[in-house]
Every structure is written in C-alpha cells, then in structure tokens.
Chain A
Amino acid sequence: MTSITPIINGVAVTVEVPDRVTLADTLRDKLRLTGTHVACEHGVCGACTVIVDGLAVRSCLMLAVQADGAAITTVEGLSKNGKLSALQDAFRRHHALQCGFCTSGILTTMHALLLEEPDAGEHRIREVLSGNLCRCTGYIPIVEAVLEARAAYAQAESGA
C-alpha cells in the first residue's frame, strides 16, 4: 500500500492504494467517481480518459501510485455548479451520444484538445478523436458538437 494525494477536480484527496492498481480502478472503486469508464483496459478505446496535469491520459494504463500530487480532471469535474459545460451542452444538442459509455472519455479528450487548440479544425478534431472508440454514433454528431463548442473555448482564452 502506498499513500497518494492527487488533486481531483480541484480537491486534494489522500488515498491508500495497492501498487498494482490502476488509476481507473482507484477513481471508480475507491473514490466512487464512476463517470470514468473502462471498456478495454488495454489502452485502445479511450473510454477511461482523464486529464492529468493538462494531458489526456488513459487511466487504465496509469498506475494510481503514479498520480501522487497530480492535478486530475474527470468527467465529473467538467460541469460547474450543476450546469453543463459548453462542450457537454453541444453534445446534448447534437445528439452526440447514445448509450453514453464512451462519452466521458470523449468529453475529457476533446476538452483537453480545445483548451490547447480552441481553433482545431474538423480534420484535427477527427484525428484526435480517432483515439476514442464509439460504437453508437458513427462519430459524425460528435464532430459537429465539438466544432460548435470551439467558440466557447476561444472566448474563454481571449478572456472575453
């Protein structure tokens, strides 16, 4: 057992974790943040993606012990005060989800992208999105939603 203190969605949390346990399992089972999903546990599908120190990371491939001191954003941290973020809202309006199982990982991945590149074009969005699998939507509504959400990120960046 190792004691770690990551900052999760803005709050420092100390947990004891066995060395062999992944960050995904720790978030889900220990911290009950079950919005992070696992769909392959071998780093391909992207369902488990969370943002670690600004980077989209597959939490099924990262050990919990590696997360000590890291700032982690999960899907639960994307909406503020019970209000959907611009990205989440665009997902809803564009029907960019059906079963929702891939959705958390796609939201975190796209959130990390738009924070860095609020002007990402369709090509770039698809390129980054290709690391996440969705079986339901065919991706088209997801791309539409992300394209629309860009404006909110650009506005936030320019401080407007």
Chain B
Amino acid sequence: MNRPNAYIGSAVDRIEDERLLTGKGTYVGDLNLEHLLHAAILRSPVSHGLIRSIDVSAARALAGVRAVITANEIGDVPIIPIRQHPVPEGERFRQPVIASGKVRYVGEPVAIVVASDPAIAEDALELIVLDIEELPPLADYVTAARNECLLFEEAATNRAATFRARMGDADAAFAQADYTRKERFSVQRHTAFPMETRGLLAEWVDATGHMTLYGVTKVPFFNRRVLAQMLGIEISAVDLIEVDVGGGFGARGEFYPEDFLVPFAARYVNGNVRWIEDRREHLMAMNHAREMYAEMEIACTKEGAVVGIRGRIDIDLGAYARTNGFTTPRNVVQFVSGPYYIPNLAIDAHSFVTSKTPTGTYRGPGRYESSFFCERLLDMAATDLGIDPAAFRLKNLIREEQLPRPLATMMDLDATWQTELDNGAYPIVMQRCLDEFGWQEKIKLQGQLIDGRYHGVAVGNFVEGGAGGRSENASMTIEDDGMVTVAIGSTALGQGLKTVMSQIAADALSLPIERIRLLHGSTTLLTDGVGSFHSRATVMGGSAILLAAEALLDLVRNEVGMRLDVPAANTSFSDGKVEAAGKSFALQDFAGLSVEKTFINTKLTYSYGAHAAYVAVDAATGEVEVLDYVTVEDVGRVINPATLHGQVLGAVVQGLGSTFLEHLQYDENGQLLTGSLADYLLPTATDFPNIRSVSLGLRPCPNNPLGAKGAGEGGLIAVGGVIANAIASALRSLRVQPCDLPLSPPRLWRLIAEARSAEMSR
C-alpha cells in the first residue's frame, strides 16, 4: 500500500512523551559520569567597577576544592563572537568569557571553582575575597546615552549600534498627510525563562585530547567551532552532545561565558566537570530581552489609509553585545509594518550598553515589540478617524496580489539583511479570526460597564519570520534491522521535533513511523549542521530530510537496477518493501546505504495571522481578566496539528505573561531586584484559561519543497498590542491609553486614576 502523506498533517502522538512521562528523560543534570567534579561560578556583586584584586587562597585551601580559575589562569581571555546579525561597530562591545580588569553587570563571571561536591564548590565561592572599586552604574539607557561615564573606554561611546529601516519617503508622506499622531511606548525587560535552567557537563579525555560537552542545544555546530578555537584545539577534537532540553525560547543554547568556562575547567583539572545553573544565577546570567523605549508617529489619509510610520527606538542592550544581541534591534525596525501595506517607513533603533545583564532573543524577538507599537498606533488612528478598528485593519492589510512584498530596507547593510513577505491571504485569515471570535457581537460591548467592569475588544495581525540560517543537513542510513536512521542538524528544545521530523521522514520513505530512528542535535551525527532558531527547524530540517530521502531512494533504485538488470526508474516503494520487475525486496536488503544532504534556502518564510481579545477591566483595582482570546494563523502546511496547537497556546500564554506580569527590575545601582520566582511573576494555571487557536494550511510556502512556514512564535507576537488595545477599548470613556508594558494592576490603576483626575479638571 502506498500512503502518500499518511503522517504529515495528522496529529501523531509524540514519540518523546513516554520517556518524559515516566521520569526517564535525561536532562543534563541527570547525567552521571564516574569521577564527576562540580563547578560553581563567582559572579560580580556590583554592576560596574574595576577589579582591584581577587584573593582565592582560602578557597583553594578548602578540602575538596580542585581548582579556582580566574582570568589569570585563563591568560588570553577569549571574546565571544556575534553569531547573528553582526555589525562592525558592535564588535567593540562583545563579552569576554570572564571578567578581567572590569565588571560590567551584576552576575558577570569572575571566577569558577571546581570541587568534589556542588556544596563544597558553593562554600568555596564564599571564601573568595573580591575587591572591586565601584564605578558609576549605568542602570538605564538615558544615563548611558549621555556618555558621561563609559562602559567601554576604548569605544568612546555607550552607543553600540544603530539600525535604520526605510521605505518610500516618510517625511514627505507626513508633510502631506491628513492625519498624524505621535506617541511614546515602552516594553519592559523580561526573559525567556525556560523551566530547566542551563547546565553543562564537560568530559575531557587527556589521553586523546578530546572534549565532549553535554547540555548544549540550538546551534551546536557553531558553538563547536567557537569552543575549539577558544581552546586552541582541532574542531574534530570537540563534540557537542544534545540531551533532553527543558525549553529554550531563543535564550538557551547560545554561546555564553559558561560554554567556555566549564570545558576549560575540565581540561584544567583533567577531568569531568558539571555545572548546573541555579535560578537566581539564571535570572542574572541568561539573556534578558525586550527592554526598549519608542517614540512613534503614524500618518493616514482621512479615509483611513495608513501612509506612513516613522519613529525612533532606544534599546537597553545591557552590558555586552552577545551572540544574538543585535537580532532584536534589527527586527524591531524592519518589522514595524508587519502585514500592513504602509508605503513610507523611517524607523531608527539605537542600542545602548548599560550596566545590566546583556540581552538576546526571546521568542518573537523585536516582533512582539514592533507589533505592540504598530497595533497601538493603528487603534489610536482608527478611533480618531471614527473607523471601526477591524475595518481599518482590513483596509490596510497587504492584499494577496500585492505579495511578495519587500519589508523596509535595512540601510547601509547588504542583501542578506533584506527580506520580503512571501505569500498569503492576510485579509481572509483576519476575517476568519473575526468570525471565530464573534466580532460583530462583541464589538457592541466595547466600553460598556457590565457588573462593575469595563469590557473591551481588539484585533490585530502579525507576520512571523521563519526558516532563517540558510542551510540544514540531514542524513539517512538503512540499518540491518530494517530501520532507517535519520540524523538532522536541527536541535530539540522541547517542541516535539523528533515527532515532526519522523513524520516527514516516514512519508518521504513510505515507511511506518516506527521504522524511523530519529537522531538530532549532536555534532557527532553529521558533517555539519545549523540548529533550531528563527522558527526554522521544521522547514529547514524537514526540507533536508526530503532531499536525503530522495537521494537514499535513488541509491536503492540503482542497486535494484544493478541486481536485476532493469531500469532503476521502475522501482516502487511502500511500507518498507521495494519492488521492481515482479521481484520484491525488504528494505534491510539494502542495509548500509547511506546519504547526507544539505538543504540551502536564502528566503525566509512568513506565516501570518490574527489575534482577537475580549477583556474586562476592574477600574477599582486595575485588574484585567482575559475573557476570550482567539488566534487564527496560516502556516503554509501543517505537519502535526496537535504539536502546533500546543505551541500556539503556549506562546499566547507567554505573550500574556509579557504583557501583564513579567518584569526584570533593577534599582538605580544596577542591582537586580527580581532574582527569584517570588519577584519574577510567570503565568500560572489560574491566570489565562480562555484561549482558542486555529491553525490553517491555506497558502503553502513557495520557497521550500515542504510548503511549510516556520511557526511557533506567532502566538506571542501580537499579544501586547492586542491586549493593550482591548484595554483602551474598555476604558474609552476614560480615554486611558496604555502605552507602557507590563500592564500590571498598579500601573493600570494609576492610569485610570490619572485619567479620572484629568477628566475632573477639564
């Protein structure tokens, strides 16, 4: 029986689940090696200062301590490269793997201790005497922008980079526009917060000079190259192994200081060293995200056509430009127009270094923020012009025949920075969202006071870029037991990758899914690979699998042709049987045949969709209840509706956390005030029960053989703007305009109180 597409498109149960449900998952903290030593890291307690001295003698003398390593022991301190979106001026702000001479944020590594037991390693940290001469903190970008005190003297500025996006002639459009409005917005610093903290286990074998590092994910091949270079050994002497991973969301798996320090320590003590981050460390050491301040302006005709958006965004980058520190600044200027036809754009973003934890990406980087700015402006304009906000958006969405359409040009940067929206039926999907949501009925409630709460609705649209990173590898090998081993460079961070990739491989080989043995993420599996980020794993890894499958079947055909002396083309495959010229073979008759293929793609995919929200606001407390939240998106082709649905729901709730709860706060000295889960609030099960999502495969992507588009971030992107608009809609009688996230009850309460007193004095 031939079963085309038997698995793709169906809600196959996850292959991962049985192990994870029975406690048999193996995360890096679960690995056990003989003679395992344990590392702990001393981190700077001050945000900006000069290291006068580090006295490690008492720590070294503690029984059980094997080594205390500072910049001194490392010698030439390596600097971490920028992996994504590097710009020349940004190079000056890269992070050394350990502080030497100067500390620039609370949490910066200063020393690493290796001991026989984790508790002893932590005890030893307390015996290190660190003498730091404090320098003025740069706890916010405004202070940093003054350049009165510099974080990097050599750079002579605290401005790390500027990104500019342009389309048309914004100033001319604004000069002629019927209507303009300017507003200030801000998004607060928060973070991806995977449930598993980071961890690494480095195994150094002196006899062979080989380093194996466990606990990596996301981009193992890149990190291997970096690590080998930093350690001064051959790439082939380094292997990075992916084990189970407890969530990534953009932040996990980048090359952090610890990704050097832990392996270095293992080689230094000639042994096996494990480091598991604790939650307080995690909150001060792992990438933060999203802190920015914007002044944005919209221009429209009086009929409601948006003719331009311009503005300036100031980004608090934190102390260093990390591996993907410029991805958010780039995205936020390029994606302001999202799925809307806005002919004139001029957006600048300036990134400033401050003495706080460095920032990187978090799911929907720059897109969540730019969508917040854009959607808020659209609602304000629609309200001012007296047009229904849904009708206003339908009017301004890019129409299908206008696609493909380039996004704003990234100025002074080469073609690799430019991108265009591929295809899609944006208005159709938005209309579907309105219908699912019941817009016609619910809009009637806007602004009404019902049972003591104001009710409001909003709708917004997003695009989600996917399939970045240019290439991916996949290999396939026929095994003696009739299984096919499939290895991919994509990595698994908890998103069900194994299942989705097995579905694609099984369909491509016409094999039952049980006969696919899927391996991923480790540098031992393939000659090269990339990994999982930028919603790329399914499209890139999946397309690489299709190529590998085609090549493998070709090998089998040739072999059949030779054995039977018939034309290879006449061979057919189904359910693990190979048939030609009336003869039948089992797949294992071809055991040993093996291929590795690379899928190359320079065009990004753009899934897209709409969100709608219905909220009730308690004006007495500032508390908001989300009564209904609906998303509809088109991902080109759905591989597994169940895993996708799960991703979207999870993303929406993360977005609601970003919008209402999560906030990394610092005091004026650059001390992190939110270093535990008691201070940093994540969504819990009682917060947001009412979410619905529909995923469609409406317009397959023209740029890859699967027709799929990257997905999984879209559930988050539009949440900030849509929720803030729904709150503004609820509070329209008070003219409250929420422009600063998060929309916590005290903040909203203050806005309401201010609006009321303004009303009184009017």
Interface residues of A (CB under 8 A from B): 20-21, 28, 32-42, 44-45, 47, 74-76, 78-79, 84, 88, 91-93, 95, 97-104, 107, 122, 125-127, 129-143
Contacts and interface: CB of A to CB of B under 8 A. Distances in A.
Contacts of A133: 195, 677, 682, 684
A100 B651 CA distance: 16
Candidate in A40, A125, A136 with the most chain B CB atoms within 10 angstroms: A136
A95 B645 contact: yes
A99 to B, nearest CB: 2
A127 B197 contact: no
A142 B646 CA distance: 10
Contact of A78 (B22, B30, B279, B649): B22
30 contacts: A20-B119, A28-B30, A34-B27, A40-B676, A42-B677, A44-B678, A75-B21, A75-B23, A76-B22, A76-B23, A84-B22, A88-B21, A88-B22, A99-B196, A99-B495, A100-B16, A100-B17, A100-B20, A100-B25, A101-B195, A101-B494, A103-B20, A122-B689, A126-B686, A130-B686, A135-B193, A138-B683, A138-B691, A139-B683, A140-B689
For the complex of A and B, 5 pairs with smallest distance between CB atoms: A35-B23, A99-B494, A101-B246, A100-B20, A138-B653
B685 A142 contact: yes
Interface string B1-43: 0000000000001101110111111110110100000000000
A151 to B, nearest CB: 19
Contacts of A126: 685-686, 689
A125 B13 CA distance: 24
B22 to A, nearest CB: 5
Given A100-B244, A101-B494, A37 B650 contact: no
B278 interface: yes
A79 B22 contact: yes
A140 B18 contact: no
Contacts of A142: 685
Given A42-B678, A92-B18, A36 B23 contact: yes
Given A40-B677, A100-B17, A102-B195, 16 more contacts: A32-B32, A34-B23, A35-B22, A41-B278, A42-B678, A75-B21, A92-B18, A95-B14, A99-B246, A99-B493, A100-B21, A101-B196, A126-B685, A126-B689, A139-B688, A143-B689
B685 A42 contact: no
A92 B653 CA distance: 21
Among B21, B22, B249, B495, find the residue whose CB has the most chain A CB atoms closer than 10 A: B21
B13 A92 contact: yes
B642 interface: yes
Contacts of A131: 684
B643 interface: yes
What is the predominant secondary structure among interface residues of chain A facing chain B? Answer: loop
B245 interface: yes
Contacts of A104: 23
Nearest to A34: B30
B652 interface: yes
Indicate the size class of the contact surface on chain B.
35 or more
Contacts of B676: 40, 42, 44
Contacts of B493: 99
A45 B195 contact: yes
A130 B647 CA distance: 20
B22 A137 contact: no
Interface of B: 13-14, 16-18, 20-27, 29-30, 32, 119, 193-197, 244-247, 249, 278-279, 493-496, 642-643, 645-647, 649-654, 676-678, 682-689, 691
Contacts of B246: 37, 39, 99-101
A34 B197 contact: no
Contacts of B195: 39, 45, 47, 99, 101-102, 133-136
Contacts of A103: 20-21
Contacts of B647: 98
B126 to A, nearest CB: 14
B397 to A, nearest CB: 27
Nearest to B26: A34
Contact of B642 (A42, A95, A125, A130): A95
A142 to B, nearest CB: 7
Contacts of A143: 685, 689
Given A47-B195, A130-B684, A135-B194, A101 B496 contact: no
Given A28-B30, A88-B21, A99 B194 contact: yes
Contacts of A129: 684-686
A77 to B, nearest CB: 9
A102 B494 CA distance: 11
B646 A141 contact: yes
Contacts of B23: 33-36, 74-76, 104
A91 B22 contact: no
Contact of B197 (A39, A91, A97, A136): A39
A131 to B, nearest CB: 8
Contact of A136 (B26, B278, B494): B494
A132 B643 CA distance: 22
A136 B246 CA distance: 9
A92 B21 contact: yes
Given A88-B21, A104-B23, A34 B652 contact: no
Given A44-B676, A44-B678, A78-B22, A37 B685 contact: no
A131 B194 CA distance: 17
B361 to A, nearest CB: 16
A2 B689 CA distance: 46
Contacts of B677: 40, 42, 44-45, 133
Contacts of B691: 138, 140
Nearest to B690: A140
Contacts of B14: 92, 95
B497 to A, nearest CB: 10
A109 to B, nearest CB: 11
Given A84-B18, A133-B682, A138-B688, A95 B197 contact: no
Contacts of B684: 129-131, 133, 139
Given A79-B22, A98-B495, A137 B650 contact: yes
Contacts of A127: 685-686
B279 A42 contact: yes
A98 B193 CA distance: 15
B653 A35 contact: no
A46 B196 CA distance: 12
Contacts of A33: 23
Nearest to A91: B21
B664 to A, nearest CB: 16
B712 to A, nearest CB: 10
Q: Which of A38, A133, A140 has the most CB of B within 10 A?
A: A140
A9 to B, nearest CB: 10
Residue in A35, A40, A100 with the greatest tally of chain B CB atoms within 10 Å? A100
Contacts of B194: 99, 101, 135
Contact of A101 (B247, B683, B685): B247
B24 A98 contact: no
A99 B684 CA distance: 17
B279 A98 contact: no
A149 B689 CA distance: 19
Residue from the set B23, B194, B686 with the largest chain A CB neighbour count within 10 Å: B23
A88 B653 CA distance: 23
